[in-house]
Every structure is written in C-alpha cells, then in structure tokens.
Amino acid sequence: MFKKLLFKSLRFSGLPLLFREIVQRNKVTILLFHDISPEVARQTFTFLAKRYNIISINDFVQACHQNHQLPDKAMILTFDDGHLGNYGLLTVIRELNIPVSIYLCAGIMDTNRHYWFAFPHPEVSSSALKKVSNKKKLEILAAAGFHPEKEFPAPQAMNKGQIEAMKPFVSFQAHTMFHPILPQCDDSEANFEIAHAKRVLEEQFELEITAIAYPNGDYSERDIAIAREAGYQCGITVDYGFNTTKSDLFRLKRLSVNDTNNLDELSVKASGVWAFFKQIFK
C-alpha cells in the first residue's frame, strides 16, 4: 500500500518526465523483465512505446560498431531466463510490432529441467546460495534433491517449437547454460557456462547469438574476457545507468522493472528514477 502511494506520488511529481526529457533523451535505456502475462505485456509495451523509441539489441550493437545515430529516448526491452510464460507474449509482440530480446539458459530450454533459483530449498534461501561458490551451491542443492540436469514433471522454460515460432519476431540471446552466479564459478565452469551456451543455442536451436545477459547481473573481468573470446558482441549487466553508442559493450547498463502491472511503478522504474534513488540511499 505504502509502495503504491510512493510510486503514484513519484510518477506525478514530474520526475519521470524530467528524466525522460533530460537524462534519457540522448541515451539508450535497457529494461529488464522476466515473466509477465500477455495482458501486462500489452499494457507495458503500449505505455512504453508512447514515451520511448523501442529498438532492438541488434540495432543498438550495430549502431555502436558503425557509429550510427539512434532515435531520441531509445529503449531496449529484455527478458531474462526464457520462462515458459514468454511464449504467451508472441501475439502481443506481433500485433504491436515491438522488438524484444529474450535471454535463454541453454541447458534448460526444451527440457523439463528447472531453474535452480526456483527450487524451494527447505532451509537455504536462493539469496544465500548466490553468495557461495558454484560448487558449494550445487552440493547444497544436491543434498536437497535438486540437480541441474534433473527432469521434473513439467517444464519451466520454453521448448524448441515455441522458440521456433517466436524466432521471426524475437531476438533470442544467451543467459549461460544453467544460470550460475558467474563470479562464483571457477574458470572451467565459467568457460562452459558462457562459451558452451553460445554453441548450444547456435547449433541446436539455430539462433544467431551476439549478446549475453550475465545471470543476476553479476560478472567479473574474467567473465567478460571469456565472452569476448567466445565471440559475443556485448554483455548486459544490471548495473544502474543508461547507455550510448560509446558505452563499453560488455558492461551495458540496465534497469530492472519488477514484473508489475502497476503503471505508476512502470513509469517510475522505466525512467530510471527508482534506481537513481536506490543508488543514493544504498
């Protein structure tokens, strides 16, 4: 309730408008979503398309390489993980003709494997599991009956046919194999997660992979080096800020939008106002 009022007053304070017209005008804003319903997507895309120029990640990377100019208030919409529910957005994406990119966990797509962070561990929270080494995390999960390759009765991620159907309208990109916290991986794990994911998505799913979104937004210098070496052209974080064609392509900044149906919250978060205050009061 308090948050609702806070978003409403922030929205109508004029700050989001000010951010759009001043901060975002000559920048590229990247937004992060996960698993929104088709109804929320329709409302969200319609709202954003009225206020921003939605461009694709590929247009942006190309503009960086060729030093092209981009439209004012350019915005890129990204969806992390490859959730099954994303398939339901196809109709809206087609109808509204909105470019979106979806970042897939190559080891989970087209299987009944589950995302480790969605596994309800009885004692250890997923935020605690993000703080230990990848090996330790897998040990703790294994003791509770979860394995990255374990097949569950129902899928959590999209299958190959669904990806195939969306391919003409969506840019599919990489989000590692199994969504580890990359800085918690040793070198061989990081290599597998970053480089092998690109190969799987290209060879098994026949996708053209140029971008990686670092799981949880976490990355190290080593992970960037591996991504470059593997042939990615850009890497997307969740570091606060906006981008230009001069930005470091492997440290692209992104604003996290809660999967919300509240337009006040969307307005405040898409403008960067929310993340800006979070930075200050951190």
Residues that bind Zn ion (CB under 5 A): 80-81, 215
Q: Which is nearer to Zn ion, 81 or 193 (CB)?
A: 81
Query: In the bound complex, what is the minimum distance in angstroms from residue 81's beta carbon to Zn ion?
Result: 4
Q: Which is nearer to Zn ion, 237 or 267 (CB)?
A: 237
Query: In the bound complex, what is the minimum distance in angstroms from residue 181's beta carbon to Zn ion?
Result: 10
Query: In the bound complex, what is the minimum distance in angstroms from residue 20's beta carbon to Zn ion?
Result: 27
Token couple for 253: 């900044």
Q: Which is nearer to Zn ion, 10 or 194 (CB)?
A: 194
Count CB atoms within 10 A of the CB of residue 222. Answer: 16
Token couple for 238: 């969740």
Query: In the bound complex, what is the minimum distance in angstroms from residue 9's beta carbon to Zn ion?
Result: 31
Query: In the bound complex, what is the minimum distance in angstroms from residue 256's beta carbon to Zn ion?
Result: 11
Q: Which is nearer to Zn ion, 81 or 110 (CB)?
A: 81
Q: Which is nearer to Zn ion, 16 or 235 (CB)?
A: 235
Query: In the bound complex, what is the minimum distance in angstroms from residue 216's beta carbon to Zn ion?
Result: 6
Only one residue has tokens 């992970």, namely: 223
Q: Which is nearer to Zn ion, 15 or 163 (CB)?
A: 163
Burial of 220 (0-12, 13-18, 19+ CB in 10 A): middle
